[in-house]
Chain A
Amino acid sequence: MIELSELRKQILALIEKNSRIDLKELAVLLGATEAEIANEVAQMEKENIISGYHTLINWENTSEEKVTAMIEVMVTPQRGVGFDKIAQRIYNFSEVKAIYLMSGGYDFLIMLEEKTMRAVSQFVSEKLSTLDEVRGTATHFVLKKYKDHGTVLSDIKQDERMLVTP
Chain B
Amino acid sequence: MRNPLSDAVVNIKPSGIRKFFDIVSEMKDAISLGVGEPDFDTPWHVREEAIYTLERGKTVYTSNAGLMELREEICKYLKRRFNLTYDYKKEVMLTVGGSEAIDIALRAMVNPGEEVIIPEPCYVSYLPCVQLTYGKPVIIQLKEENQFRLTKEELLEAVTDKTKVLILPFPNNPTGAVMTREDLEDIARVCIEKDIFVISDEIYAELSYIGKRHVSIGEIPGMKERTVVINGFSKSYAMTGWRLGYACAPENILSQMLKIHQFAIMCAPTTSQYAAVDALKNGDEDVEKMCQSYNQRRRFVLNAFKEMGVECFEPFGAFYTFPNIKKFGLTSEEFAGRFLQEEKVAVVPGTAFGDCGEGYLRISYAYSIENLKEALGRMARFVKKLEAEGQSKC
Residues on A lying within 8 angstroms of B by beta carbon are 10, 14, 25, 28-31, 159, 161-166
Contact = CB atoms under 8 A, between A and B. Distances in A.
29 contacts: A10-B292, A25-B300, A28-B299, A28-B300, A28-B303, A29-B296, A29-B299, A29-B300, A30-B296, A30-B299, A161-B35, A161-B37, A163-B24, A163-B25, A163-B27, A163-B35, A163-B346, A164-B35, A164-B346, A164-B348, A165-B34, A165-B35, A165-B36, A165-B37, A166-B15, A166-B124, A166-B125, A166-B352, A166-B353
Nearest to A164: B34
Interface string B342-379: 00001010001100000000000000010100000000
Interface centre among B27, B348, B353, B371 (most CB of A within 10 A): B348
Contacts of B27: 163
B296 A166 contact: no
B30 interface: yes
B346 A159 contact: no
Contacts, number: 52
Contacts of A159: 39, 371
Interface of B: 15, 21, 24-25, 27, 30, 32, 34-37, 39, 123-125, 173, 292, 296-297, 299-300, 303, 346, 348, 352-353, 369, 371
A30 B297 CA distance: 9
A14 B292 CA distance: 11
Contacts of B34: 163-165
Contacts of B348: 164, 166
A166 B122 CA distance: 10
Nearest to B34: A164
A135 B348 CA distance: 67
Contacts of B36: 165-166
Nearest to B304: A28
Contacts of A14: 296
Contacts of A30: 296, 299
Contacts of B25: 162-164
B28 to A, nearest CB: 10
Contacts of A28: 299-300, 303
B123 A166 contact: yes
Central interface residue in A29, A163, A165, by most chain B CB within 10 Å: A163
Contact of B32 (A25, A31, A163, A166): A163
Nearest to A157: B41
B25 to A, nearest CB: 6
Highest count of chain B CB atoms <10 Å: which of A14, A165, A166: A166
Contacts of B15: 166
Contacts of B352: 166
Contacts of A164: 21, 24-25, 32, 34-35, 346, 348
Contacts of A165: 34-37
Q: Which of A10, A30, A159 has the most CB of B within 10 A?
A: A159
Complex A-B, nearest 5 residue pairs according to Cβ-Cβ distance, in ascending order: A164-B34, A29-B296, A163-B32, A165-B36, A28-B303
Given A163-B35, A164-B346, 5 more contacts: A159-B39, A164-B32, A165-B34, A165-B35, A166-B348
A10 B299 CA distance: 14
A22 B337 CA distance: 34
A56 to B, nearest CB: 16
Contacts of A162: 25, 35
Contacts of B123: 166
B223 to A, nearest CB: 28
Contacts of A31: 299
A9 B39 CA distance: 23
A31 B292 CA distance: 12
B242 to A, nearest CB: 15
A25 B301 CA distance: 11
A10 B352 CA distance: 36
A74 to B, nearest CB: 35
Nearest to B27: A163
Nearest to A10: B292
Nearest to A161: B35
Nearest to B348: A164
A148 to B, nearest CB: 17
